[in-house]
Amino acid sequence: MPVGRIGMKSLVKSCPLKPGDSVAIAAPAACLNEEGRAYLEKAISVLEGWGFRVKTIPDPFRRRGYFAGGDRERAEEFMRLFSDPGVRAILCARGGYGSQRIIPFLNPQVIRTNPKMFVGSSDITTLLVYLLERCDMVPFHGPNVATRQFTKRGAKTTQDSLREALGLGLPGEIPNCRPLKGGVRKGKIKGGCLSLLVTTLGTGYEIDLRGAILFVEDFKEPLYRIDRMLTHMKQAGKLDQIRGLVFGEMVDCGRKEEVDLESVLRDLFSDQEIPIVLGFPSGHGRTSLTIPLGVDVTLDGDHGRLIFTESGLSIP
């Protein structure tokens, strides 16, 4: 089984996809509404246009409260997709809320022995961390496909990045970010939506940030809440362990406030000599690049560059 290294762990990687392979669209969190139905149809059309066969769960529009079915039901479907040898990749339909509720019913050993390319973001961050920390598998932070972000006109960069990642395990061309603190450091990239990363603390799948380049993004959070979440992670001993920090676009975070994100970050990280860059295009923004987590990267804080030096897939 192909492996990589992260700390003392060996990470399993899935193999690159090729036209004719099957990809599944899963709904492990919130239910899809009528608008989501149209987005799902468009997403299927895009993926089929790339030459993939698309499989969806039996009833992608089921709901129980605000979830896409009961907790056990969603977990069982999740495990069936991982156990199905005909499914080569699992793409999440949407985020919302609900991923963490299925974790008690998952089997990490089955997942580890059946690695798939798994892609999602927002609430799906919880599953990305779980797959990385408990299943020792490389997951991908990228667009949820039954969304306007992935299917709208003008989503070419987001779509191209996912297509590139499916075949090469890398995000394709990455634009420069805004440097906040300089320096060049290497490490394993980890992270996702900040609001969800905090919820992993104290759990059996708590994010391990020793020697990591931390990537965080979020949506419509006031700056005091971003400050509070980062302070929580700092006081939990997590941020003292990182080698660099990459912020996503932080869409609508801190709008019309007297302070700005850069001031908050300079204050919080004044005692750490690590590179920090802002505006990395993955997450809730207009563009969401698909990036592997748990792989080697170099963060160049002098020039605002994040360079992936390891693929998230097992490339011959």
In tens, the pLDDT along 122-136 reads 999 999 999 999 999
> What's the pLDDT tens digit per position in 202-214?
999 999 999 999 9
Over residues 10-37, the mean pLDDT reads 94
Range of the domain at 7: 3-168
Catalytic residue among 14, 99, 121, 122: 122
What gap in Å lies between CA 12 and CA 10, rounded to an integer? 7
- Same domain? For 18 and 67 the reply is yes
Report the DSSP pairing between strands 87-92 and 117-120. Answer: parallel
Q: Is 161 labeled as catalytic in the residue annotation?
A: no
Cβ–Cβ < 8 Å for 155, 144: no
CATH assignment of the domain containing 73: 3.40.50.10740
7: pLDDT strictly greater than 60: no
197 and 302 within one domain: yes
Q: Grade residue 256 by pLDDT with cuts at 50, 70 and 90.
A: low
- Boundary (domain end) residue, out of 139, 168, 197: 168
- DSSP for 130-183? HHHHTS-B--EE---SSSHHHHSTT-HHHHHHHHHHHHHSS-------EEEE--
Q: What is residue 257's predicted lDDT score, i.e. its pLDDT?
A: 66
Q: What is the pLDDT of residues 146-186, one digit of tens each?
A: 999 999 988 999 999 999 999 999 998 899 999 999 999 99
Which one of the listed residues 217, 221, 249, 310 is annotated catalytic? 217
Q: Is 133 an active-site residue?
A: no
Are 142 and 25 in the same domain? yes
Of 118, 138, 168, the position where a domain reaches its end is: 168
Higher pLDDT, 259 or 273: 273
Q: Total structural domains in the chain?
A: 2
Selected catalytic residue, list 14, 133, 195, 284: 284
State which of 168, 195, 226 marks the end of a domain.
Answer: 168
Please check whether residues 150 and 196 belong to one and the same domain.
no
Examine the domain organization and report whether 37 and 94 are in the same domain: yes
What is the average pLDDT score of the chain? 93
Catalytic residue list contains 263: no
